[in-house]
C-alpha cells in the first residue's frame, strides 16, 4: 500500500465577501477615466459588439475593431492590451451581473440557502450563462499560462471553495473546487451541447449529481 497522505491543511474560517472582482480590463468601474477616454472605450466596445453580431466572435480582431471605430490600431491595443482583453471586456457586463447574483443576490443562488443547495444553483446558473455567450467565451479563453489566473475564474473558484468549506469542511476543498470548475469550462460545454447535442437539462442534472457525490449528500 502507498504511504499515508499528508494531513489536509486546516480550513480557514469561511467568509463570503460580496465584492465583485474586476475583469482583466477593469470594466466600466474606472472612475478616474477622463471623459474622452471613457467615450473612446465605449466607442470601441460598440464597434466590437457590432462585429460580433454581424460576423461572430471570429470576426473580432484588433484591426477590424479599429477600422469599425475609425481609430488607429494602436488605440485598441493601448486600451485593451490584446484580443483576449477586448473580448473579456465585451463579456464584462454579463459577468458582473452573474457575480452579483451569486455573491449578494437572493437564495438559493445568493446567501441564505444551505451550501449544497447554493452549489447546485451556482452550477446551473453558470451553465446557462455559458450557453448564452458560448462563442464569445470560447474566443476569450486566455492562453494556458493565464487560464487559471483571470479574475472572473478566480471569483468563481473562491466562491466554490467557500461553499465546500461549509458543506464538507474536512475535505481538500481547493482540489474539489478545481474538479467542479472543470465541469463548467466553456470548451466542455461547447463539446457537450454543440457536438454531442446534449440538452441543457441533462448538463444541469449531471451537475446536481456531481455536487451530491462530492458532498456525500443525496441527489
Q: To 5 degrees, how large is the angle CA 122–CA 107–CA 117?
A: 50
d(CA 81, CA 85): 6
pLDDT, tens digit (0-9, with 9 covering 90-100), for 57-88: 888 899 999 999 998 899 899 998 888 889 88
The model's pTM: 0.75
Determine the pLDDT at residue 56.
85
**DSSP string of the chain, one letter each residue:** -PPPPPPPPPPPPP-----PPP-TT-TT--TTS-HHHHHHHHHHHHHHHHHHHHH-GGG--HHHHHHHHTS-HHHHHHHHSSHHHHHHHHTHHHHHHHHHHHHHSSTTTSTTS-HHHHHHHHHHHHHHHHHHTHHHHHHTPPPTTTTTTSHHHHHHHHHHHHHHHHH-TTS-HHHHHHHHHHHT-HHHHHIIIIIS---HHHHHHHHHHHHHHHHT---
Give the domain ranges of the chain: 35-90, 92-215
Q: What is the CATH number of domain 92-215?
A: 1.10.357.10
- Whole-number percent of the chain with pLDDT over 70: 84
pLDDT tens digit string along 13-46?
A: 344 443 444 444 444 445 455 777 778 888 898 8
The pLDDT of residue 172 is 96
Give domain 35-90's CATH architecture.
Orthogonal Bundle (1.10)
| Torsions phi, psi for 98 (to 5 deg) | -65, -45
pLDDT, position 196: 97
Amino acid at each position: 500500500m502507498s504511504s499515508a497522505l499528508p494531513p489536509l491543511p486546516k480550513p480557514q474560517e469561511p467568509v463570503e465577501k460580496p465584492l465583485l472582482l474586476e475583469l482583466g480590463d477593469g470594466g466600466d468601474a474606472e472612475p478616474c477615466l477622463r471623459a474622452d477616454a471613457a467615450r473612446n472605450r465605449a466607442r470601441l466596445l460598440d464597434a466590437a459588439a457590432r462585429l460580433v453580431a454581424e460576423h461572430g466572435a471570429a470576426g473580432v480582431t484588433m484591426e477590424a475593431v479599429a477600422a469599425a471605430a475609425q481609430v488607429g490600431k494602436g488605440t485598441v491595443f493601448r486600451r485593451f492590451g490584446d484580443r483576449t482583453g477586448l473580448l473579456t471586456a465585451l463579456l464584462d457586463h454579463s459577468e458582473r451581473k452573474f457575480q452579483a447574483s451569486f455573491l449578494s443576490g437572493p437564495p438559493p443562488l445568493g446567501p441564505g440557502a444551505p451550501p449544497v443547495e447554493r452549489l447546485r444553483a451556482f452550477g446551473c446558473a453558470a451553465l446557462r450563462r455559458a450557453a448564452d455567450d458560448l462563442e464569445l467565451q470560447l474566443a476569450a479563453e486566455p492562453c494556458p499560462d493565464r487560464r487559471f489566473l483571470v479574475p472572473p475564474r478566480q471569483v468563481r473558484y473562491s466562491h466554490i471553495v467557500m461553499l465546500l468549506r461549509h458543506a464538507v469542511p474536512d475535505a481538500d476543498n481547493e482540489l474539489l473546487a478545481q474538479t467542479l470548475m472543470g465541469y463548467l469550462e466553456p470548451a466542455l460545454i461547447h463539446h457537450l451541447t454543440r457536438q454531442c447535442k446534449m440538452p441543457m437539462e441533462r448538463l444541469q442534472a449531471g451537475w446536481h449529481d456531481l455536487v451530491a457525490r462530492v458532498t456525500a449528500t443525496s441527489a
